[in-house]
Chains A and B, each alone.
Chain A
Amino acid sequence: MIDNRILYIFSTILFLIGIFGAITNKNLIKILVSISVVETASNIFLVSIGYIKNSKPPILDANMGKISVSNLNISDPLPHALVLTAIVIGVGTTAVGIGLCIRLFQYYRTLNINRMGDKDEL
């Protein structure tokens, strides 16, 4: 059985990997992928919050019977609902980012951020 703490550590490592990728990569698409990794890390963290050790899924079915103190050991469904919203928002942001990358590529013929500088920067 996976412990919550393992998931917390895993999401923190994933978050740091994403930040490292976003800082060190020069290619815009790779930076966008790194940021998606950061978003995934935060989603994993959020899902892991709702998890309770040895708990059942929060679905009321025939085996569960009536809701009572004995079968209250269910995982918290609220973070799952929040994550669904966060995933949708993340996809929207990535789509807008890729759209901008396409337009930038049409101007500069490259996705390398070091080659996108203009002489009159400041």
Chain B
Amino acid sequence: MNYNTTVLLIIIPILSSFLVYMPVGLIKKSFKIIFLATILFNLLFSLKIFSVVLKYGNLITIIGNYHPPFGINLVSSFFSILFLIALYIVFLISAIIFIFKNDTKNNQQKISSVLLLYLASFSEIILTGDLFNLFVFFEIFSISNIIIISLKNEKFSLKGSIKYLLISSIGSALLLFAIGYIYAILGTLNLAEIALNFEKISFFSKCFIIFFLMGSILSELEVFPFNLWISDSYAGAKNFVNILLSGISCVVSLYIFIRMFFTIFNYPSISLYSYNFPLDIKLLLLTFFSLSIIVNQLVALTSKNIKRILAFSSAATISTILFALTSGTKSGFSSAILLIISTIISKPLLFLSSHQITKGKMEKNLDSFKNGINRKRYFSILFIVSAIFFTGFPLTPAFFGKLMLFYTYASKLNYYTYFIIVIIFSITVEFFYYFRMIHKLFIKDETERENKNIKNNLSISYFVSGLTMISILIIFFIFPNIYEKVITKMSEEIFNQKEYIQTILKLGEK
């Protein structure tokens, strides 16, 4: 396989996004086929690349024959391609729901164009080896997010959308400042070369770069207090958008965090020490993420709107993943990956099933779950199973993830061990509000007689999507050795900064 064909993962969705929007008769009729074919192409082609990566190691794509550190290059490693495959599966499920849904028929052509840009942007973010390229596609990703949140065109969705726009705009300005500063000091924008020289720069410059880069992705990572947008965005957005936001948007930001902290800053061994101002970055981040976990869990506990509960629960999980990553150890990283697997599969399923259970109800609050087991038996079972997986019942990925998180902080007794209290608090609160929701499903609804006219049709797209995701969950439950090997290989790659630098820069020497 030609090394440069990886770029098709970005080019094909961009071309298709322009193609599906064309007002030509033939395209107008067949845009759905183009849309789904593009996603399927990306999924199958990424599987092909994955097989090549397994056989020959990292693939470097050089664009315009400018060898690294010059020009733009794409890096397909085991970690990045596997991340991409997982995201493509979630995107495909969301796309199926969007295409076969009746209420978006008028705008489907326009929305599918935006969704394809979204697909291209997160593919590039994950594959890119260039910092400015990352900025450009991160902006396209943010704009696509803003548009898809506002699709419902109601008060909540518009408010959520503008809040997201304001926070992400400030974030992008911070990212641009950080990029400029890196270029001024190191004279390069290639991630591998930045990683090579990062240790040599001064204490002040390191702090400036780390805080500005962190500040730029905090809004997407839904970390408190930069997560004010999620309250309205999730509650006001369409169901397929909720799946995209919870299953893709925050996971892409997590990927950027992992790449920046581990590959570029070499986080566990980064020396942020000055004689005048000793800075314990680990303690700072742990405090920050602990605060985020506590606030998000408490807001989820006190919320009444189902989508808000799930949104803040998702934000709390992302903060827990960041908390695990901050440990900087292999066990912490493994714990984070297990929790990411759990989030990618369970969270979209929770949104999908809860949407179907509350369908037809005027208010989407906790009471709309009443008698769900009789009204929507299939989706109620899906909700219960996904909640069990998400909260971390024994032998599920989330269970192993949380267990490893305990192990990470308790194995060495120091002042970081006190942070375990935050995890215990988080797990307890999470169990409480998920079981409150499950309990509501079994309570008889006395007001239900008034709403008997509601149609109780089972949507095939929702049925198939739910079945696919629940099958993946059950496979992970029965065969835990699948992710055991994957996690070992991922942590080997992430903690081996030298190999990443050598593969890219040695190619440039030729």
Using a CB–CB cutoff of 8 Å, the interface residues on chain A facing chain B are 15, 18-19, 22, 28, 31-32, 35, 38-39, 41-43, 45-46, 49, 78-79, 82, 85-86, 89, 92-93, 96-97, 100-101, 103-104, 107-108, 116, 118, 120-122
Residues of B within 8 A of A103 (CB): 150, 153, 158
CB-based contact B299/A49 at 8 Å:
no
CB-based contact B169/A118 at 8 Å:
no
CB-based contact A121/B183 at 8 Å:
no
Residues of A within 8 A of B177 (CB): 15, 42, 45
- For A122, the closest partner residue in chain B by CB is B303
Query: Is the C-beta of B317 less than 8 angstroms from some C-beta in chain A?
Result: no
CB-based contact B308/A35 at 8 Å:
no
**From B162, B176, B183, contact of A104 by CB (8 A):** B162
User: In the complex, how many angstroms separate the beta carbon of A13 from the nearest chain B beta carbon?
Assistant: 13
- For B136, the closest partner residue in chain A by CB is A85
Contact with A along B277-318 (1 / 0, CB 8 A): 000000000000000000000010011110010000000000
In the complex, identify which listed stretch (B139-147, B218-226, B352-360, B421-429) lies at the interface while the others stay far away.
Answer: B139-147
CB-based contact A79/B183 at 8 Å:
yes
Sample 20 A-B pairs with CB under 8 A, ordered by A number.
A35-B169, A35-B173, A38-B169, A38-B170, A38-B173, A39-B176, A41-B173, A42-B174, A42-B176, A45-B180, A46-B183, A49-B183, A79-B180, A93-B143, A96-B143, A96-B146, A97-B162, A101-B162, A103-B158, A118-B156
| 9 more CB-based (< 8 A) A-B contacts, given A32-B166, A79-B183 | A35-B170, A42-B176, A49-B183, A82-B179, A82-B183, A93-B169, A100-B146, A103-B158, A120-B304
Residue of A45, A86, A92, A118 most packed against chain B (CB within 10 A): A86
The docked-state distance in angstroms from the alpha carbon of A85 to that of B303 is 41
CB-based contact B155/A93 at 8 Å:
no
User: In the complex, how many angstroms separate the beta carbon of B350 from the nearest chain A beta carbon?
Assistant: 19
Residues of B within 8 A of A96 (CB): 143, 146-147, 165
Residues of A within 8 A of B162 (CB): 28, 97, 100-101, 104
User: In the complex, how many angstroms separate the beta carbon of A50 from the nearest chain B beta carbon?
Assistant: 9
CB-based contact B183/A78 at 8 Å:
yes
Query: Is the C-beta of B24 less than 8 angstroms from some C-beta in chain A?
Result: no
- For B135, the closest partner residue in chain A by CB is A86
CB-based contact A82/B143 at 8 Å:
no
Residues of B within 8 A of A93 (CB): 139, 142-143, 165, 169, 172
Residues of A within 8 A of B172 (CB): 39, 89, 93
The docked-state distance in angstroms from the alpha carbon of A107 to that of B83 is 40
